[in-house]
Chains A and B, each alone.
Chain A
Amino acid sequence: MSSLIEMPELVLERIIGFSHFTAVLTLRQVCRDFRNFIDDLKDSKLPDAKFSKIEIELKEDGEKIIFEFVGPDDSLYRLKYAEAGNRRKFNGKGKMVMNADIIDVAIQDVELILRFQKSPLKRLYCDSNAYIHIDPSIHCLPIKLNDMFKMLNRKIKTRELSIVITNFQSEVTIILPIADLETLECIDVYSYYNDTGIEIDDIVKTEQWKKVKEMNFKVPALNLKVEDICHFSRFNIKVNTISAKDLDCLKKTITSGSSNVEFSCLKVINFDENEEILNLWGPAYLSESSSQWYFRSKDSGEDILVVNYQQDRDKIHFDVFELEDVPNGAIVQEYNEN
């Protein structure tokens, strides 16, 4: 009888193409001939793992790096890497690895697994909120990830990119370039501890910031310029403060039709230009604890921009209503180019 490895190459390629990605990874471990054959195959010949979600989590405790790959049927593949004893755990099963640098092992593994990912992910989640100030060595994982993607000339196709950070905008700018521009629709930036905020001057220069339609920035964005957020269809951005002049500028951009903002929100921690905004926009329509202004937009017929300032929640919402939904008693301001 022929041995499996003695099959003609084209037949082996087809068998591999019809296999589940885990079976191909198992075949790699069968013998060096299989390993070499699979490693030499073009990625297009490998089966699609169809992951919906990938999570990369860096931690300070025993298990330093965690990768989670969620399959199309919600199956979960979890890889954990611990420096102590140079251990890698796959779905709970531990094994010692020969390479001394556990970060290199993790990078090699993710490189191999990503060869199987062809469909776009729903979400890529990178949590580097790992006490980097205590353990700065961990920060080299995102750097090495970035290097790996550069070297492979590859990007991850994901619709949503979520990044959990500590204190630096570099934590965002190092991850952003690994996301494929054509696929990316939404970016989320969070932090568990940071209330002081981060500068965003480098972040707003990235192609990913300029291209996405939806931005959720839950860390106070320092020195935000309204022109940097006008291209988003939806945004949910936290800032320490914003001037009435900037708010008016944002309103004008939306009503002039230069921006297609749907439902968006600015979380303004200290908004102290109430008087200035009343001077610019006139008296508001008061509804419970919120002040609302209604503006007609240029060339958009019955669509009305609503700016809703919820003082008790420090939030300023931007939304588009149809004229018939404007409450009785509210004044709809005509479009004014100036």
Chain B
Amino acid sequence: MSSTEQGTSSAAPAEPTTAPESAAAPEVPESFYYVHGKDKVVHKVSAGALQHSALIHGMISNLGYTEEQAKANPFPFENIDGDILQMVVDWCNQHKGKPTPPEDTNLPKQKEKLFDLVLAVNYLEIKELLTYCCKQVAMMVKGKSPEEIREIWMIPTDAEDEAAEKEAKKRAGKEAAGETAAAAGDAK
């Protein structure tokens, strides 16, 4: 991953570029942290980019890790798929230190990906990105009939839901009866 604001990321991060010489403020070296998802691929992300995530920002704010310590202790997000975490890291890099625009058109159009992204972003508490994702889902619901929404988002009808519930209860009842019978057999 390049730690510049270009937003491309990879598992083998490059060193950060230095600030332009014209910058008047004294240069403070940027600190970096490491995160990985379900696929264990480690992403190097600057503290500035991670500020977007209230969860990670809260975790790192009192750590005071050295570069070595940070490298040795990547934050594991086992509940997030690798490609989704990559998207999140890219977004945080692209929007590091910048005001977020009113819309983001680069979100995944596939509903499965968008859903996983929503869950990840909600978990990582990235407020602005969650807003974009929710707007995108709202757009995808707009103009659809109840039947279309059920089909697209795999939602059972009330009747199907009730039938499934009944079936599950029946199965649970049978299993419980089986266990009781087995227990009774053991006791004998």
Contact = CB atoms under 8 A, between A and B. Distances in A.
B175 to A, nearest CB: 25
Interface string A1-38: 11111011011001111111001001101111110000
Range for the number of chain A residues in contact with chain B: 20 to 34
Majority-rule SS of A interface residues: helix
Interface string B19-51: 000000000000000000000000000000000
Nearest to A25: B146
A33 B161 CA distance: 10
A30 B149 contact: yes
A1 B115 contact: yes
B118 interface: yes
Range for the number of chain B residues in contact with chain A: 20 to 34
A15 B134 contact: yes
Given A10-B122, A11-B118, A14-B131, A19 B138 contact: yes
Contacts, number: 75
A30 B115 CA distance: 18
Contact of A4 (B131, B135, B145, B155): B155
A30 B156 CA distance: 9
Contacts of A34: 155
A104 B130 CA distance: 40
A20 B119 CA distance: 22
A18 B138 contact: yes
A34 B141 CA distance: 13
B141 A19 contact: yes
Nearest to A5: B155
A77 B144 CA distance: 17
Contacts of A18: 131, 134-135, 138
23 contacts: A1-B115, A1-B154, A3-B153, A3-B154, A4-B137, A4-B141, A5-B155, A7-B118, A11-B119, A14-B134, A15-B134, A15-B137, A16-B138, A18-B138, A19-B141, A20-B142, A23-B143, A23-B144, A26-B149, A27-B146, A31-B156, A32-B161, A33-B161
Given A1-B115, A23-B141, A23-B143, 13 more contacts: A1-B154, A3-B154, A4-B149, A7-B115, A11-B134, A14-B131, A15-B134, A18-B138, A20-B138, A20-B142, A26-B145, A30-B150, A31-B157
Interface of A: 1-5, 7-8, 10-11, 14-20, 23, 26-27, 29-34
